[in-house]
Each structure stands twice: as structure tokens, then as C-alpha cells.
């Protein structure tokens, strides 16, 4: 079980901390957003963005009322390594979509994604009182699918042949976890 510790909008484990996304984070995200290797398995639109476009996107994410965005910082390396957000937050129906990108490729495979997901789910269920957290994952992103299943996410369905990537059609898999499933997973 993760213990969520909030200090000035920060959530952390021994390894990482989630820091509230600010308007000043556009340069960090800009490098990741324009790295097609980073975005290949998470972004439906591979493109090259101008610094101004990224600045507008981060400003929107940092200031929108139905989203909570966080920079993932690796404590030992003392650097930003990714971004995780709850978007499309529906406070009436207590539902939110989770999105994550680990932008620092040298940090891939070190458990940062699972730690960040655990922290954001703790926050969603224990603080925001969400009933359901959902996500979308590309069918070829097997490691992410295994991680989400291990965390208790269940398959809801798929958008068949919804993503065209590298000359082939791929499904987008819809997965979710309910608060009751999350609680039972912690036991």
C-alpha cells in the first residue's frame, strides 16, 4: 500500500515525487512531446510541435478545472522524468481519465510508471473521491497493459482499428478500475 504524502501539492514515495504542473514546465514537456520514441506508444498524434504550441498546451493543462497535471520527478536523480494527469474529471459522476508519459528514456523500466500510477490512484480515490478511473492504451503497448492489469484495471472493451501507426491498424484498449476494486487490491 502506498502512503500518499501531500506537502505543497507534492505527492511522493521513496523514489519519486509528483509535483503540480505549472506554466513553467513547457520546456521540459516540449522535449518529450517532440520525441517520437517517447510518444510512439502513448500519443495518438505523432507530430512535431512548436515551443509556442507546447506552452499553450501546458498552460491549458495547468489551469483547467477538470484536470490535475503533475510532473514526475525522480528524487535520487533530481530531475523531471515524466508527466501524469487526471483529465476529463467528471465530479458529478466521480470519474476521471488517467494519462502518463515517462519522457526520460534513461528511466524506462525502473518502476517509475507503476509508482506514479499508484500515487495518482491514491489521490483520485482517497482525496478526490472518484468512483472510477479509466485509461486508454494502444494494443501493442504490452508492458503498459500488463502493468495496468497488475494494478487492478479491467478491460472494458476496445476501439477496433482506431490507431494507424507504422503502416498498420491497432486497437485502442479501454481499461478502468473502480474504487471498490482499488480498495480490495490494497488488502
Q: 182: pLDDT confidence band, cut at 50, 70 and 90?
A: very high
d(CA 54, CA 85): 16
pLDDT tens-place string over residues 57-83: 888 888 888 999 999 999 999 999 999
Give the chain as a DSSP string.
Answer: -PPP--SSSEEE-SSEEEEE--GGGHHHHHHHHT-HHHHTTT-S------HHHHHHHHHHHHH-TT-EEEEEEETTTTEEEEEEEEEEEETTTTEEEEEEEE--GGGTTSSHHHHHHHHHHHIIIIIS--SEEEEEEETT-HHHHHHHHHTT-EEEEEEEEEEEETTEEEEEEEEEEEHHHHHHHH-
Give 46-89 as a DSSP string.
Answer: -----HHHHHHHHHHHHH-TT-EEEEEEETTTTEEEEEEEEEEE
Fold of 10-186: Aminopeptidase (3.40.630)
Instruction: Write down the pLDDT at residue 152.
Output: 96
Of 1-5, 84-88, 136-140, which range is least confident? 1-5
Residue 3 scores a pLDDT above 70: no
Contact indicator for 139, 157 with CB cutoff of 8 Å: no
pLDDT tens-place string over residues 77-113: 999 999 999 999 999 999 999 999 999 999 999 999 9
Tell me the mean pLDDT in the region 120-130. Answer: 96
Instruction: Write down the pLDDT at residue 186.
Output: 72
pLDDT tens-place string over residues 26-69: 899 999 999 999 999 999 888 999 999 999 988 888 888 899 99
Cα dihedral 120, 94, 162, 46, rounded to 10, equals -40
Average pLDDT, rounded, for the chain:
91
Residue 179 scores a pLDDT above 60: yes
Predicted TM-score (pTM) of the model is 0.89
What are the residue boundaries of the structural domains of the chain, listed by start? 10-186
d(CA 170, CA 163): 5
Instruction: Write down the pLDDT at residue 10.
Output: 46
d(CA 48, CA 93): 35
Q: 187: pLDDT confidence band, cut at 50, 70 and 90?
A: low
Residue 9 scores a pLDDT above 80: no
Amino acid at each position: 500500500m502506498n502512503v500518499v504524502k501531500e506537502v505543497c501539492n507534492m505527492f511522493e514515495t521513496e523514489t519519486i515525487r509528483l509535483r503540480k504542473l505549472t506554466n513553467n514546465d513547457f520546456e521540459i514537456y516540449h522535449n518529450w512531446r517532440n520525441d517520437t520514441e517517447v510518444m510512439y506508444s502513448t500519443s495518438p498524434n505523432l507530430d512535431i510541435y512548436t515551443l509556442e504550441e507546447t506552452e499553450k498546451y501546458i498552460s491549458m493543462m495547468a489551469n483547467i478545472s477538470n484536470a490535475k497535471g503533475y510532473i514526475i520527478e525522480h528524487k535520487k536523480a533530481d530531475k523531471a522524468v515524466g508527466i501524469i494527469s487526471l483529465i476529463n474529471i467528471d465530479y458529478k459522476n466521480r470519474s476521471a481519465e488517467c494519462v502518463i508519459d515517462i519522457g526520460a528514456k534513461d528511466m524506462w523500466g525502473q518502476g517509475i510508471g507503476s509508482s506514479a500510477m499508484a500515487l495518482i490512484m491514491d489521490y483520485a480515490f482517497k482525496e478526490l473521491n472518484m468512483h472510477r478511473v479509466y485509461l486508454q492504451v494502444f494494443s501493442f503497448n504490452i508492458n503498459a497493459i500488463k502493468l495496468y492489469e497488475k494494478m487492478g484495471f479491467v478491460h472494458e472493451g476496445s476501439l477496433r482499428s482506431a490507431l494507424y501507426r507504422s503502416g498498420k491498424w491497432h486497437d485502442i484498449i479501454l481499461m478502468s478500475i473502480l474504487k471498490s476494486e482499488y480498495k480490495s487490491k490494497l488488502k
